Structure 1
Amino acid sequence: EGLIPIYVFDGQPPEQKREELERRAKIKEEAEKKLAKIKEGGGSVEEARKYSQIALKLTNDMVDESKKLLDAMGIPWIQAPSEGEAEAAYINIKGLSWAAGSQDYDSLLFGAKRLIRNLTITGRRKLPGKDVYVEIKPELIELDILLKKLAITREQLIDIGILIGTDYNPGGVKGIGVKTAYRIIKKYGSLEKAIERGEIQKTLISFDINAIRKLFLNPAVKDPDVSLELREPDENRTVEILVQLHDFNEDRVKNGIQRLIKAGREAKAAGRQTGLDQWF
């Protein structure tokens, strides 16, 4: 029947994520250097576009303004105390949402009952590092069905994730891919037992298994302190943000607001959620 989005913003990341964040920052830094060289006359337009996209950074001002826009549009949002993925999974576990929407499989490790991937308006996704778009379709993964099909527990799924690599231990255990990780955990039941039996060399484990497991099983989350219901949009405020501050086309914005108001009213009248395409 469609959906009503609830946006979740990241909070303070766990200390264990520092290595991954430093890796991402380094990639952006290298992209900025390459972009500077291109601007000096050392590259093509395609290369400039590529490195510009990689070098983009989400600032606190951007986040704050996004929240103001969502408020103006009447769309609910939550500020997570830590990982946004964990908070999205938590409100799903609590029954406050139908599913978590993300490209990140970590949502399942955090315990989301359902995960929707490839959730887009256009039905297309840009390939990393290429000016090429491919068609994609929404993908629904239900945690209980997945665990039953694999004949494992959520704790074991987390151990598989740790072997492959998560944001808290990038790269995982050297030489172990998805199939091998699944075979090992199915055979031994846990990462610790696999190490005890000599299947995995202890010297290859350079991270705290229990600390990472705890981040997925008991993450920093909170009960929402705001209504997650759709509200009537504030047309004047929305126009102020999009048109006056960011030079969007006024007619297009006002038409979009009217579609949003209509879709919201129809959804409430019908007692169901509304299609994503009606928001834009």
Structure 2
Amino acid sequence: REQTSFKALYGKSFAVDASIELHQFLALIRKPDGSLFTDPQGRVTSHLIGLLTRTSRLVTDYKLHPIFVFDGRPNPLKKATIEARRKVQQKAQTEYAQAIAAKDYSRAWSKVVMTGRVTGDVLADAKRLLSLMGIPWLVALEDGEAQASFMAAKGDVWAVGSKDYDCLLFGAPILARYLTLTGREYLPSKKTSRPLIPELVKLADNLEALGISREQLVDLALLVGTDFNEGVMGIGPKKGLALVRKYGAAEKFPEEIRGGLPSDLDRVRSIFLHPRVLENYSLKRGRPDPDGVIEFLCEERAFTKDRVQKVVDRLVESQAESDSQLGKWLA
């Protein structure tokens, strides 16, 4: 990993893992008591605040070209992981309420950051606002991170914007983590937080440092556990790497190790090595719709007009600059 800056990323394009981005907004953009921001009707607006203020600045201030990639229908093998995450969220919600009742606000905050759910309404809101801002988006066939990684590997975008290392398993050449401008990430297990500083993770450099291939990296992940399998009990990253280096491939692992891997090993491998993806998509940036943004956020969701107008003005100005540069290039 190497830390970077938005100045260094100026003008580059990214396929953004929309699910991760929205989860991050729902975790970080909260009131002092840990509750989400909502409109007068009680509808969540934390994600809209994030998209309006943070994502817009990536476009206007740093000329980044994001394309948001939303998850499609989840692979059936991911069902157990999704259910486990739902239970964690429910447990955290209960513990948050208990902490608030006890006026233990530090504990309450450590729990509430784990409760954010990307609901259908949150997704619909995000897609609508992105369209109004002129930022392209698409819905993947399955995992958004797989689609984003495919786009990066194909060279259609410079990197994948996500905090999830699984993108490397899907073949993303460059993973750009923490594409946000301000804030901190709370680490519930450590009861602490850290500043969100953009960093780059390069697949080729990491494979070279580990002395393994991407296929072997996938086998290592299967040993430790992924969203699609539980992993082998007692095997962590260090021991798993030693096994991969020694035996080369999962088929050559000792029987007691192979027995803990999925019986349909090739099927799980193929999720990472040959994922279902869209091969035809548009990266074209749309034109911002100032009136549409104002109507949606101010009239429907009770945002302060002055605040929204400033963002809209920056988006329009950025589009004008882009048009001017294109005109000079074509002249």
Regarding TM over 0.5, the answer is yes
Which one of the candidate residues 48, 52, 77 is aligned to 1:16? 77
Shift of 1:42: 4.2
| Separation in 1, partners of 2:214, 2:207 | 7
Greater relative contact order (CA < 8 Å, ≥ 6 in sequence) = 1
| 1:206-245 equivalence runs, <5 A | 208-225=264-281, 227-245=282-300
Which one of the candidate residues 141, 147, 153 is aligned to 1:93? 153
| Aligned partners of 2:111 and 2:188 also within 8 Å | no
| 1:93-242 equivalence runs, <5 A | 93-122=153-182, 124-128=184-188, 132-170=192-230, 172-195=231-254, 198=255, 200-205=256-261, 208-225=264-281, 227-242=282-297
Number of equivalences: 265
| Separation in 1, partners of 2:263, 2:102 | 42
RMSD of the alignment, in Å? 2.2
Relative to structure 1, the CA distance from residue 163 to residue 254 in structure 2 (aligned partners, 3 Å threshold; closer, same or farther) is same
- The letter of the residue matching 1:156 is Q
Shift of 1:121: 1.0
Which one of the candidate residues 299, 304, 314 is aligned to 1:259? 314
| Separation in 1, partners of 2:191, 2:246 | 43
Q: For residues 38-76 of structure 1, give each alpha carbon's deviation from its aligned partner in whole angstroms, at most 9, with x where no partner exists.
A: 56x345344444444322322111101110100000001
| Separation in 1, partners of 2:112, 2:239 | 37
| Separation in 2, partners of 1:136, 1:42 | 30
Deviates further, 233-242 or 254-263: 254-263
Q: Secondary structure at the match of 2:268?
A: helix
Deviates further, 251-260 or 73-82: 251-260
| Aligned partners of 1:164 and 1:178 also within 8 Å | yes
Relative to structure 1, the CA distance from residue 174 to residue 268 in structure 2 (aligned partners, 3 Å threshold; closer, same or farther) is farther
- The letter of the residue matching 1:8 is V
Which residue number in structure 2 is paired with residue 274 of structure 1? none
- The letter of the residue matching 1:204 is G
Shift of 1:110: 0.6
Q: Secondary structure at the match of 2:181?
A: coil
| Separation in 2, partners of 1:174, 1:209 | 17
Which residue number in structure 1 is paired with residue 20 of structure 2? none
| Separation in 2, partners of 1:82, 1:65 | 20
| Aligned partners of 2:185 and 2:196 also within 8 Å | yes
| Separation in 2, partners of 1:113, 1:234 | 34
Gaps of at least 5 residues in structure 2 are: 1-9, 12-63, 327-331
Shift of 1:174: 1.4
Relative to structure 1, the CA distance from residue 257 to residue 207 in structure 2 (aligned partners, 3 Å threshold; closer, same or farther) is farther
Shift of 1:244: 1.6
Shift of 1:120: 1.6
| Separation in 2, partners of 1:207, 1:69 | 44
| Aligned partners of 2:262 and 2:268 also within 8 Å | no
Q: For residues 166-224 of structure 1, give each alpha carbon's deviation from its aligned partner in whole angstroms, at most 9, with x where no partner exists.
A: 11113x211222122111111111011013xx5x5344335532221011111111124
Q: Secondary structure at the match of 1:201?
A: helix
| Separation in 2, partners of 1:30, 1:121 | 30
Which one of the candidate residues 32, 54, 77 is aligned to 2:114? 54
| Separation in 1, partners of 2:271, 2:182 | 34
Identity %: 38
Relative to structure 1, the CA distance from residue 254 to residue 152 in structure 2 (aligned partners, 3 Å threshold; closer, same or farther) is same
Q: Secondary structure at the match of 1:251?
A: helix
Deviates further, 5-14 or 238-247: 238-247
Shift of 1:259: 1.3
Q: Give TM-score scaled by structure 2 length.
A: 0.73
| Separation in 1, partners of 2:106, 2:126 | 29
